[in-house]
Structure 1
């Protein structure tokens, strides 16, 4: 693997200098060397390990106890598989996903993908900013609306000024600190091992469809899938870095994100008895129940997760839009730099949104789950087409189809649950969104079958 680690590690994305990791140092196996070599998937992990995922886990644990533990475990594996497929497409084509879709499927399909991802990321951005501002206000005592403006300015200056290098470093540090904070909380909270084992048996309690979709949506999400090719390009990775990129996915999504999800879920399932808490409220509730140390560990972990997710999510719309418009996807292109700053600044109004942030976060993830099967279907189609020099293995295709089935099933349950209360503005929008993407997936499947029959 040493040859793989030594190739293609020139960092781009707005950096003027080059940095190559010494292959012999990396192959020696020290944790710091591996963390230094890795990067792109940690940004995806930073988004996945965010307040929306925490909200889903808090709701699941508080409302349903350990019964949805199987979904938590499944989400880590599914998230790693989704990122692996996205990684394959990015490395084998060495291009952004939007450009590849446009070249091999046409402009309409490219715009549909852009619209799907930008909608999911844009809605999430506002609610994530609300969470960051709310937690910041709780910790400091300063009004959340002021924090919303402050964080938007910090985000704009950091991303537009430092580009990919700034984001990757922040993601690595924050994700590791967040994982440590939540794992530490396990040592001050009593866990019922027998009930936890029983929760590994698949079951979907009544009323849990939205929460289950939210948990899976935190790991298998259209924003994570579509951004991966761009972050690898920013890192300068090529096909020669395939093994390194695979380790990157495994370490960030399967290990770090998996441990993070398990720790949060086990803490909340063991202590909380209500799923109707805000994310901050969940942290506050831990204090009188299991001590102030657990409260502060949870609160600081939530803060770090919210900040890291806000930064990672900000780059998704600019990446996709810039690629579709033929612009550069590094801050060396002032148009892309402007998009970064604009998305960052447009996050500020999120701090002024009223209502319970917990329900909003779960809804954001579930809505993203509706758009995710289409993105996975596009990736699978391209990985079995002339877009790549080598087609997917049978195992990778089976895994991809399983991802579509699971995410599609949870998305369908979510849509049905939304319609249960009648067709209103929100449920009507979700239904229209789901129908449009469902028809697109059916068209894509038909196109693939026709091509296979004519081949």
Structure 2
């Protein structure tokens, strides 16, 4: 009894004196949110606006709403259990071959992410400085490795500060043009009505959702939250945790961490959603019907000719910052996937080289960068259910999250999002196979 009283007293003291302000707790969602601002998003949203105008505005908005719920659940899993999603699944998938199969699909998704991000950085360097695409890809990979080394040597907070700085550059680069050449307000409202126009719009809708709700962001956010708010080993291994135990472990009550996380995710998703919507609106208002604007290079040229070189240059700078920041987060997620599922640690340099090779091959053989970006996002869309379904299932279980498990409404929303995404992917597959 005295021990319990002492624990409660220390928790109360932590609440009064040691709990940092909410602002200090914000950061992991912003880093994970970089995944929602990667070059794949740029290509998908730019292509959607150029080809279909305001038709798919509703997809961007819906994707962002679903992303809020998904990223919050991911962070909650990491905070409450002290485990990332790959770690939690690695403990529960008993069959070694089943665990390897799950790792393989997750790894392919991470590689598809890396392809999009490296290609985006290479295209940006080509637009800004005229560098060959392969050289630009190498530079993007090297800089991202430097950011990962920064994270491993100086901790999560330093990494967050650098990435948030890149987010600011991304936001300015991609939203400036909308203020210079604003979209039609009535048309934007019309784009909020859900509808499609042919298989091409379905393909782009799946691409937008794959770029918005990214599987590797789900894996990464749980790990980022775990690393930012670590608990001692005896707490981290527990299947069921209590607010008091975790408060003592971290000096911060778990309920307060979760409240701060909701703010963190909200800020990150507002930024990501606004930027993605601005990219689509910029293309819809200024590039619709203009030939060649369904590629990043064509869009850059059209923006320069139609709105001015300042807007075009800021667009390219935003694309570069997007590639550099997002490829670092993608590599972090890939390393966590391997460690959590296979219990294998691979040196950063070796992993960076392996994941860089596919992107460099695609650039070297002359595959159209924008096509590669859009298709990579479709691959990501098919990887979403494998991350989302286990996430919703685990966070709904009392033996995993204890008193912090999902309420029934949260679980219902997660199930609805999963069903919608899986159904959209099924329609897309049918359209591709039938050649419609």
1:368 maps to 2:368: no
Q: Residue 358 in 1 paired to residue 370 in 2?
A: yes
Equivalent position of 2:280 in the other structure: 265
Contact 1:380 1:400 in 2 (8 A): yes
**CA–CA separation in structure 1 for the residues paired with 2:384 and 2:224:** 19
Contact 1:38 1:248 in 2 (8 A): yes
Instruction: Find the counterpart in structure 2 of residue 393 from structure 1.
Output: 407
CA contact (8 A) 1:47 1:309 kept: yes
Gaps of 5+ in 1: 9-19, 28-33, 329-334, 423-455
After TM superposition, list the pairs within 5 Å mapping 1:26-65 onto structure 2.
Answer: 26=21, 34=23, 37-65=25-53
Q: What residue number does 1:199 align with? A: 191
Is the contact between residue 34 and residue 167 of structure 2 (CA under 8 Å) also seen in structure 1? yes
1:236-251 pair list within 5 angstroms: 236-237=229-230, 240=254, 241-251=257-267
Q: How does 1:38-437 map to 2 (within 5 A)?
A: 38-107=26-95, 108-160=97-149, 162-163=151-152, 165=156, 167-206=159-198, 207-237=200-230, 240=254, 241-253=257-269, 255-274=270-289, 277-327=294-344, 335-337=346-348, 340-343=351-354, 346=357, 348-349=360-361, 351-385=363-397, 386-390=399-403, 391-421=405-435
Q: Distance in 2 between matches of 1:80 and 1:172?
A: 18
User: Structure 1 residues 362 and 157 mapped into 2: Cα distance closer, same or farther (>3 Å)?
Assistant: same
Per-residue CA deviation, residues 211-242 of structure 1 (Å, 9 max, x unaligned), is: 00111112212111111121112213566222
- Rounded Cα–Cα distance in structure 2 between residues aligned with 1:306 and 1:98: 24
Deviation at 1:113, TM superposition (A): 3.3
Q: 1:350 to 1:173 in 2, by over 3 A?
A: farther
Tell me by how many angstroms 1:98 deviates: 2.1
Give CA-to-partner distance per residue, 1:131-182, whole Å, 9 cap, x none: 2112102201222222222332333343235425454233211112211222
* Distance (Å, rounded) in 1 between the aligned partners of 2:352 and 2:372: 25
Q: Which residue of 1 aligns with 2:237?
A: none
Q: Which moved more, 1:239-248 or 1:373-382?
A: 239-248
Q: CA deviation at 1:383?
A: 1.9
- TM-score under structure 2 length normalisation: 0.82
TM-score, reference length from structure 1: 0.79
Residue pair 1:137, 1:143 contacting (<8 A) in 2 also: yes
| 1:102–1:109 CA contact under 8 A, matched in 2 | no
User: Aligned partners of 1:381 and 1:85: how far apart in 2?
Assistant: 10
Query: What is the rounded CA distance, in whole Å, between the counterparts of 1:259 and 1:336 in structure 2?
Result: 36
RMSD in angstroms over aligned alpha carbons?
A: 2.7
Deviation of the 1:282 alpha carbon: 1.0
The higher-RCO structure (CA 8 Å, 6+ apart) is 2
Unpaired runs of 5+ in structure 2?
A: 1-9, 232-245, 247-253
Deviations 1:376-424 (A, max 9, x none): 11112212332221332111111101111221122112212221339xx
- Checking the alignment, whether the CA contact within 8 Å between 1:155 and 1:344 is kept in structure 2 is no
